[in-house]
Amino acid sequence: MNGDLKVALVGNPNTGKSTVFNALTGLNQKVGNFPGITVDKKTGGCKLPDGRHATIIDLPGTYSLYPKSKDEIIVFEVLADRSSPEHPDLVVIVSDASNLKRNLLLYTQVADMKIPVIIALNMMDLARKSGIEIDVEKLSGKLGVQIVPISARQGENISRLKEAISYASVIPLQNDTIEVEALAPGLIDKIKNELQVDKPYTALQLAHQHENLHFLTPQQSDRIEEIEQEFSFHSQKAQASETIARYNYINELLSDTVSSKQVREEETVSNKIDKIITHKIWGFSIFFVLLFLIFQSIFAWSEYPMSLIEGVFVWLTETAHNVLPAGVLTDLLTDGILAGLSGVLVFIPQIAILFAFISILEDTGYMARITFMMDKIMSRVGLSGKSVVPMIGGLACAVPSIMSTRNIENWKDRMITIMVTPLVSCSARLPIYTVLISLVVPDKKIAGFLNLQGLALMGMYVISIVAAVLVAWVMKYILRAREKGYFIMELPVYRLPRWDNVLLTMYEKVKTFVVEAGKVIIAISVILWVLATYGPPGKHAEIEKKYESPAYTAKFNPEEIELHRSSEMLETSYAGIIGRAIEPVIKPLGYDWKIGIALITSFAAREVFVGTMATIYSVSDDEAHISSVTDKMREARNPETGLPVFTLASSFSLMIFYAFAMQCMSTLAVVYRETKSWKWPMIQFVYMTALAYIASLIVYVILK
């Protein structure tokens, strides 16, 4: 790693940081984590003209070093904390040439931290088109930094940017911007001395932000607090006067270096588009058509590749059984690991499709308009305008939808969206609903055209959405906000989507899911396999023996024996034991211990319920798979009372249970990955199970 240069990209949102990042690194990039926050850390490698290697890191976009959200703190932390592994040798400020004034605010702050810095003046194509002329040399002279005009989207001057990076000095050469010490006389010096900070502006920033910085010890933070008291430091007043001072400096800078001839043409185009897109009637119509399209695509387009993936795994499992010697290891491989792997990979199509849409919505600027239109309704129930897309996506699958909540900036809004999205009825619940509805709801029409079964199914969907909204509304009051809920948001000009970026996003999201959530899913899958396969020693051997005895082999053919054997094995497995153990708990809901087993095994994924029912009631895998399960289930009787197990009451109670319970390890794994802690998935698991229990209890009691 010797001679390696660490370069951080810093800039306002939407200035093209990610585009510059991609242009510099190509596909040579990786996504990692910053400790404690949810933004991804994107790093990539870049070969410099002088032969050295640079590690580029893309920091979250921010308007200033004073963070608006928890995630933005990372920018200041990385720049201020010398011991941080991400601390850069050089900062590249990516700024929008077509609107320099606001972009330079962040530059002046970073410059004052006295880290070597250069400016990439991006979007030069737009600046030229709007008749903005920038005297780059003069501006560069006034600031004392290199400025490289580029158009990242067109790839213009990227090689010059690389040259500038390799020639950049290792010591900060930029001129001072404002008189930092004047902002808090005395205080800055004291912090500098006591905490051994050598840059006045860094010292001032510590005073503002010490409460939230991870790299300060509690003692240091307390000491800063005392110094603030001593000088009666008022953080917000100081920030306000700093910002004004910086803008005065910037105005002076730009007065003789930038001239603009005409208004920005693109903006008026954007305005025209906005007249339609955010129109009372057209706006909502377009939006709902779009949502419908997204939902349909995740649902329909993913079906074929998903069954293909499943098919491949069925084939792999069969081949493994045929090729490998029968035994525990083979079973572990096929029923534990391969099943888990299949459970991970099967999500790829849905994730890829949803993120293709999200990437287009973000890239074009439409996502900001969705937020603009939906904010009023959604904020009522504690959600954000941006929660609409994940929640509609939740109708197909909660996994990609929860991953897509990344773009909700406000922490509280994002958490609530993550918490309620799994309540929305996903496609994996459909097989359960179909089986149970066909079991207890007559296939009859009322009022001539309303099919009762269809009505019941629709009811389940409506209930799920109502529940999601209600829970969101409750959580709005429970969850404490981490940051003041600003809404101020930029509405970027409309731009055409870039297909390479769409592909890159799809690839990245799929990879992150497979690598990070995949581990958890496979682990749980193996545990479930152990539970369903093994039982107390002795019991299983006894069963094996029983079915090998002539009493059976003479009477039944091998297939029948296998069916009964696996059914009995499951009943005596640990899963079976747990199923019996929880029977007293689930009895009030109308379930017996066999359903208890299905509740446990279907934690892998809800659709496993049907498979488990099939095993327990030992139906063979024939054509009429579902209907034969239904038949067996209809015949199922409670051995004590002799009454049917699946009555209207118990079936609806079961449907409600599956509607609300967190019966999906993949969702838990992805919530863990998105919130970076087990706390939230656990809370979610507990509240959803409790909600499911109470709701099914009520349903059972009423219908019984």
Partner 1 sequence: MKLSQLRPGQTGIIKEFTDLEMSVKLMEMGCLPGEPIVVERLAPLGDPMAITVSGYQLSLRMQEASTIILQR
Ligand X SMILES: Nc1nc2c(ncn2[C@@H]2O[C@H](COP(=O)(O)OP(=O)(O)O)[C@@H](O)[C@H]2O)c(=O)[nH]1
C-beta of 125: minimal distance to partner 1 in Å?
A: 16
For Mg ion, which is the closer residue by CB, 18 or 98? 18
Q: Name the binder of 643 from partner 1, Mg ion, ligand X, none, CB < 5-8 A by kind.
A: none
Contact (Cβ atoms closer than 8 angstroms) between residue 24 and residue 75: no
Q: Minimum distance from CB of 102 to partner 1 (Å)?
A: 4
For Mg ion, which is the closer residue by CB, 59 or 184? Answer: 59
**By CB under 6 A, residue 498 contacts ligand X:** yes
Contact string 412-441 vs ligand X (x = CB under 6 A)? ------------------------------
Task: Kindly give, in sequence order, each residue whose CB lies less than 8 Å from that of residue 641, ignoring residues fewer than 6 positions away.
Answer: none
Among 74, 152, 178, 341, binds ligand X (CB under 6 A): 152
- Which of Mg ion, partner 1, ligand X, none does residue 431 bind (CB under 5 to 8 Å by kind)? none
Q: Which of partner 1, ligand X, Mg ion, none is residue 214 near (CB under 5 to 8 Å by kind)?
A: none
Specify whether the CB–CB gap between 277 and 366 falls below 8 A.
Answer: yes
Distance CA 29, CA 14 (A): 20
Q: Cα(387)–Cα(655) distance, rounded to whole angstroms?
A: 26
Tell me if residue 387 falls in helix, strand or coil. helix
What 3-state class would DSSP assign to 27?
Answer: coil
Nearer Cβ to partner 1, position 66 or 657? Answer: 66
Stretch that binds ligand X, among 105-113, 118-126, 195-203, 595-603 (CB under 6 A): 118-126
DSSP state of 8: E
Alpha carbon distance 565, 576 (integer Å): 14
DSSP type of residue 156: B
**Per rule CB under 6 A, is residue 123 in the interface with ligand X?**
yes
Residue closer to Mg ion (CB basis): 19 or 109: 19
Q: Least separation, in Å, of the C-beta of 408 and partner 1?
A: 15
From Mg ion, ligand X, partner 1, none, interface partner of 696 (C-beta below 5 to 8 A by class): none
- Residue whose CB is less far from Mg ion, 18 or 601: 18
| Residue with smaller CB distance to partner 1, 277 or 354 | 277
> Of these partners, ligand X, partner 1, Mg ion, none, which one is at the site of residue 153 (CB under 5 to 8 Å by kind)?
ligand X
Q: How far is CA 625 from CA 263, 509, 613, 615, 620, in A?
A: 67, 35, 11, 11, 7
- CA proximity to 421, closest of 450, 452, 389: 389
**Minimum distance, C-beta of residue 144 to ligand X, in the bound complex (Å):** 25
Element (H, E) at 307: helix 303-323
Instruction: Please state, in angstroms and rounded to a whole number, the distance separating the CA atoms of residues 3 and 597.
Output: 59
Minimum CB separation from ligand X for residue 282, in Å?
A: 23
Nearer to Mg ion, 18 or 663 (CB): 18
The window from 121-129, 441-449, 625-633, 652-660 that contacts ligand X (CB under 6 A) reads: 121-129
Residue nearest to ligand X (CB): 16
DSSP 187-201: HHHHHHHHTT---HH
Q: Which residue lies nearer to ligand X by CB, 494 or 609? A: 494
3-class secondary-structure state, position 10? strand
- 57 near 49, Cβ under 8 Å? no
Please, which residue, 26 or 588, has the CB nearer to ligand X?
26
Give me the least distance between CB of 145 and Mg ion, in Å please.
23
- Of ligand X, partner 1, Mg ion, none, which one does residue 483 interact with (CB within 5 to 8 Å by kind)? none
Rounded Cα distance, 194 and 202, in Å: 13
Integer-rounded Cα Rg, in Å, for the chain is 30
Q: What is the DSSP string of 69-132?
A: SGGGHHHHHHHH-TTSTT--SEEEEEEEGGGHHHHHHHHHHHHHTT--EEEEEE-HHHHHHTTE
User: 175: which DSSP letter?
Assistant: P
Provide the terminal-to-terminal Cα distance of the chain, rounded to the nearest Å.
71
Residue 220's binding partner among Mg ion, partner 1, ligand X, none (Cβ under 5 to 8 angstroms by kind) is none
Tell me the sheet residues that pair with 151: 156
**Please, what is the minimum distance in Å from the beta carbon of residue 521 to Mg ion?**
28
In contact, 507 and 314? CB cutoff 8 Å = no
Q: Shortest distance, CB of residue 16 to ligand X, whole angstroms?
A: 3
Torsion of CA 671, 675, 678, 680, to 10 degrees: -80
Question: What phi and psi, each to the nearest 5 degrees, are found at residue 587?
Answer: -60, -40
The 3-state DSSP class for residue 568 equals: helix
**Strand spans (E) along 141-233:** 147-149
Which of 57, 213 has the CB closer to Mg ion?
57
Residue 11 binds ligand X (CB under 6 A): yes
Site for ligand X in 329-388 (CB under 6 A): 363
- The secondary structure of residue 15, as a DSSP letter, is S
Q: Could you list the residues that contact partner 1 (CB under 8 A)?
A: 63-64, 66, 68, 98-99, 101-102, 105, 236-237, 239-240, 243-244, 247, 264, 267, 270-271, 274-275, 278-280, 283-284, 368, 371-373, 375-377, 484, 486-493
Nearer to partner 1, 252 or 490 (CB): 490
Residue among 16 and 596 whose Cβ is closer to ligand X:
16
Binding characters for ligand X, 444-483, by CB under 6 A (x = yes): ----------------------------------------
151 binding ligand X? (CB under 6 A): yes
Q: Which residues bind ligand X (CB under 6 A)?
A: 11, 13-19, 61, 122-123, 125-126, 151-153, 363, 495, 498
